Amino acid sequence: MSSDASPDDATSGSSETGFFQVVRDGAHPFGLTNGAVLSGEVQFPIEFALDATDEIIGVSFYYENSSPIIGALGLGTNNQWTLDWSTPMAFNGTYTIYAEVDFATNDPIVGFPVTVTVSNIISFPNYLSRVFGNQMWIYAQTITNAPYKIDMYDDNMNPLGSFLGNADGNGVISFLWDLTDSSGNTSSSTNFTGMFTVNASSFAPQTSKIGSSSLPRKILGVRPNGGSPSGSSAKQFWVKETQWRAKNTWVVAYGEFNDSAAQHNADTFMIAGGAYQDTPYGGVLGTLDEYGLKGNLSPGNIPQAGTVFTVNDAISQGNFLSYLASTEYDNFYFFGHGNASAIGSYNGFALTQGQIASALLNVPLSSLILHAALTPYRFVFIDGCNAGSANFCEAFAIPAQTIGTNFYAAAGLESRAFVGFKSWKLNFDIWSWQGYSLMTGGFLGDWQSGQVNVQTCVNNAVSDVHQTGASMNSSAVVYGAADLQHGTHTGQ
């Protein structure tokens, strides 16, 4: 959390600019040392050297380049936290990693870095492919040109048969499966398990052309032989996402920056319009409403009344979450304090990534949880500090990777995207809200036009192509489908 009064920090109300506080013993995965070689599922308790741990709201993990560690979750409360890392979700290689501790009302603390090596003979670094719709994208990374066998099982662990083939010259196994067996019968399972085995000598390199796709030799419908030959094996899970169609429906919320009446008025004008709604400074709601870009706003967002959801107290949070969790809405904009683990208000009220994910039933997929997201979001813009620095986007069922709509199409899913910031932004004071409001209106106008993709919307705002006098912070990042356009339909 930054401690300046800006639309980018978390829940502090002081007037000083916030920085990372690097403390050697601040937070560290206990037992994880330099030079460690990791594989499979690993867990390390987090040790703290802090003045207090009762306000910890999240622990995030990063590579040295400030990118989120894919497959790494911070699990726990107060001073009891654990790093749970499914290392096969990361590419093999050597990484310098560190932990960040996020608080409700203080700046985050970053622990000292540790250099480790991830080494898995079979890995699954494209974690979007763990979810499927009307088809499945089977993807893995292994030994160059290695023969492989994939024994497939349905949701009751009944054997379906196997795929045989060879990894390509980069060690990639990648093909689409239409969920049918060799007899043309389509499986109705909502979960699948695949046992991948690679061995340099056990499998003959055989492939065949089926339809318009080049698939491995498809012998589904033939019972697996019951035992894996000598070689390296790994298990992968897939879960089916419920079919849905993109809507132009919005939930909008904000968190107050401080208790200044002037700041409160500026915040309200920025997000809801208010006294200036008949001027170009109509706020986010005024831009999206029926008189503007024709976005379908939730009943709790009323531009004419200046009404907007807040996270300033427990009752407001509950009302806001109830709308956010409704399947009627699939776009979300938040303006206020934020960090890698939460969005909130100056007074310490915050909604964590875990609380949002739980309310939306978008729990993270892991080797222990076979549960697809039940309330995926189409487009999310968290206009607050650092919400794009870790995996906050996964609360909305958007992966913390920058990919394309072709990835979603391959998995038979609807595309989606998240915009956030990887660092603190410039101060936002009561004199700058007009320009910022215009810039945000230009961003939303670009998006709603359906003519440009999300990444271009960000680029335009960073470069201030609409000449609003305000520019989007250059640390903005797009996760999910960076080439997504409003109105584009892919997948199911």
CATH of span 249-481: 3.40.50
**Does the structure show a pLDDT above 50 at 424?**
yes
pLDDT at 361: 86
**Does the structure show a pLDDT above 90 at 232?**
no
Distance of CA 265 to the CA centre of its chain: 32
CATH class of 134-240: mainly beta
With a pLDDT cut of 90, the percent of the chain lying above it is 30
Which token pair is 474?
């250059």
Instruction: Indicate the range of 74-83, 400-409, 446-455 predicted with least confidence.
Output: 74-83
**Does the structure show a pLDDT above 80 at 272?**
no
Tell me the average pLDDT across 422-448. 78
Tell me the average pLDDT across 47-52. 70
pLDDT at 148: 92
pLDDT at 207: 37
Tell me the average pLDDT across 282-310. 76
**Does the structure show a pLDDT above 70 at 213?**
no
Cα–Cα distance between 29 and 265 in angstroms, integer? 44
Tell me the average pLDDT across 377-396. 90
Instruction: Indicate the range of 271-280, 433-442, 452-461 predicted with least confidence.
Output: 271-280
Amino acid identity at 490: T
**Does the structure show a pLDDT above 60 at 201?**
no
**Does the structure show a pLDDT above 50 at 223?**
no
3-state secondary structure (DSSP) of residue 275: helix
Cα–Cα distance between 47 and 29 in angstroms, integer? 6
Tens of pLDDT along 331-372?
A: 999 988 888 888 988 787 888 888 898 899 887 655 555 567
Return the higher-pLDDT residue of 398 and 15: 398
Across all residues in the chain, what is the average pLDDT? 79
**Does the structure show a pLDDT above 80 at 51?**
no
- pLDDT bracket for residue 453 (50, 70, 90): very high
**Does the structure show a pLDDT above 50 at 178?**
yes
pLDDT at 215: 53
Instruction: Indicate the range of 54-58, 164-168, 419-423 predicted with least confidence.
Output: 54-58
* C-beta neighbour count of 491 within 10 angstroms: 22
pLDDT at 209: 29
Terminal Cα distance for the chain, rounded: 39
pLDDT at 382: 94
**Does the structure show a pLDDT above 80 at 230?**
no
- Strands 379-383, 402-403: pairing is unpaired
**Does the structure show a pLDDT above 70 at 17?**
no
Contact 18, 426 (CB under 8 A): no
pLDDT at 22: 42
With a pLDDT cut of 70, the percent of the chain lying above it is 78
What's the alpha-carbon Rg for the chain, to the nearest Å?
Answer: 24
Cα-based angle 15, 16, 18 (whole degrees, multiple of 5): 125
**Does the structure show a pLDDT above 50 at 216?**
yes
**Does the structure show a pLDDT above 70 at 411?**
yes
Closest CA to 67 of 40, 93, 41: 93
The topology under which CATH files domain 21-118 is Immunoglobulin-like (2.60.40)
Cα–Cα distance between 423 and 399 in angstroms, integer? 19
pLDDT at 379: 95
Q: Give the DSSP H/E element, type plus range, for residue 266.
A: helix 261-272
pLDDT at 151: 92
Cα-based angle 22, 26, 29 (whole degrees, multiple of 5): 115
pLDDT at 325: 92
**Does the structure show a pLDDT above 50 at 131?**
yes
| Total-model pTM | 0.84
The domain ranges of the chain are 21-118, 134-240, 249-481
**Does the structure show a pLDDT above 60 at 87?**
yes
pLDDT at 199: 81
The answer to whether 21-118 and 134-240 have equal CATH topology is yes
pLDDT at 284: 82
Tell me the average pLDDT across 406-415. 92
pLDDT at 260: 73
